[in-house]
Structure 1
Amino acid sequence: MNQLKAFVGHSFTEDDDAVVRAFLEFFDKVKKMNIGFSWEHAKDAEPNELAEKVLRLIEDKNLFIGICTNKEAAILPDKLRKCRLKKKIFKAEANNFYSKTSDWIIQEIGLAIGRRMDLILLVEKGIRPPGGLQGNIEYITFERKAPEKSFCKILDMIQSLFPKAKPTSATETEIRVLSEEKTEIKEQTEEMLEPKADWDIKRYKLALMRMIKNDNEEGAQRINNAYQF
């Protein structure tokens, strides 16, 4: 495939809405960079409808992005003890419990592995990384209250996957330029990234990438207004 076409798996519960929305808005910004990245996700639905929707949407994708939020507390069976007076009630020490993401997300990860898709797993800090087949796959941790701190690593990982995705020559050139000039851009001040009349499209895209990494929405908007990609 010539581009990265991602399916994003995530929770639909109200308590996760803010953090999930932050990531989805970031993916929209990356898509607008026109580097060959696009994404889709399933919207909330009944379990049967959702399963069918996921299978349909994932069909033509080559990248799975899993947002693994803290959804459940789990414990090993041998850490449980029956209460003396109430045999149907079990108890355990608090430190024997561990947090994990939902089984639904884990199933989606397994589906992506079975389809030989590239993976980007975003794992909330403090939860156990999904195990099994994907246990040896790298993941990016994020903080629920500050997901934007992980955006730079996500963008780097997306960029690193383009050689695997066999990008078009134009996209390949852009990615190579982004990589070569990344160190130089990192040292530039935001003032130096203000749009100039003599900028070419390459310079606009480099500046936009920097603004996104800094989560500078106003700066990104100024660049978009100055040059419509």
Structure 2
Amino acid sequence: MAVGHRVEPDRWRAETDRLLALIAARFGRIETRRRAARFLVGLADLPRKNCWSIAEHAGDVDPHGMQYLLGRAGWDTDGVHDDLRDYVTTNLGDTDAVLVVDETGDLKKGTCTVGVQRQYTGTAGRIEDAQVAVYLTYAGARGHAMIDRELSLPKSWTGDPDRCAEAGVPADIEFLTKPALATGMIRRALNAGVPARWIAGDEVYGADPALRDELEIHQVGYVLAIGCDRRVPTVCRSET
């Protein structure tokens, strides 16, 4: 359901069942599909979420099944992504909608989680061990919801093939800046026909000329912040 709108529990459950039916074909095994459904309900119901709390909420005796779902189970994650994007735009579609791009960080302990390094994250307001991802949100008059995501892999990861291989990162993954990740997500959305008139983002994205060029190609409006110390070149024309 769209974030920020109050929904009655019975209606929420019915809509969740409809969404789960929509993505059912993306799971090759019924056990995986059922566990994914319990995982989704746990994400919605619990104030604090991890595999332990979600497993307990689902009635499991340990978190191994939920961890297996996220790390090793075979299901079509890209297909689920497409289904979710289509579900959101079908229900919230608005020709005046805004695609909002922003990153957020998850604090982590240790160094084994993919993408983790000491870096600034707004979650803590300081430099911490964190995993950072870039998200794309669809915002229209009827509500808003996230429709895409990309994990930010720092050079400390992409420059260490052994570390990536040990963590299960595909060998062909290359370093991309956060604006480059955002550009790819926006391109996917617009090429898929997502109805939107504007793109919005903070100065991390406003400072990237390649992102602005991409938006010009798609002829979509944008409001991207820039730093207060940004220099804007001007051309003075002499009178003749």
TM-score, with length taken from structure 2: 0.23
The structure where helix makes up a greater share of residues is 1
TM-score by length of 1: 0.24
Higher relative CO (Cα under 8 Å, sequence separation at least 6) belongs to 1
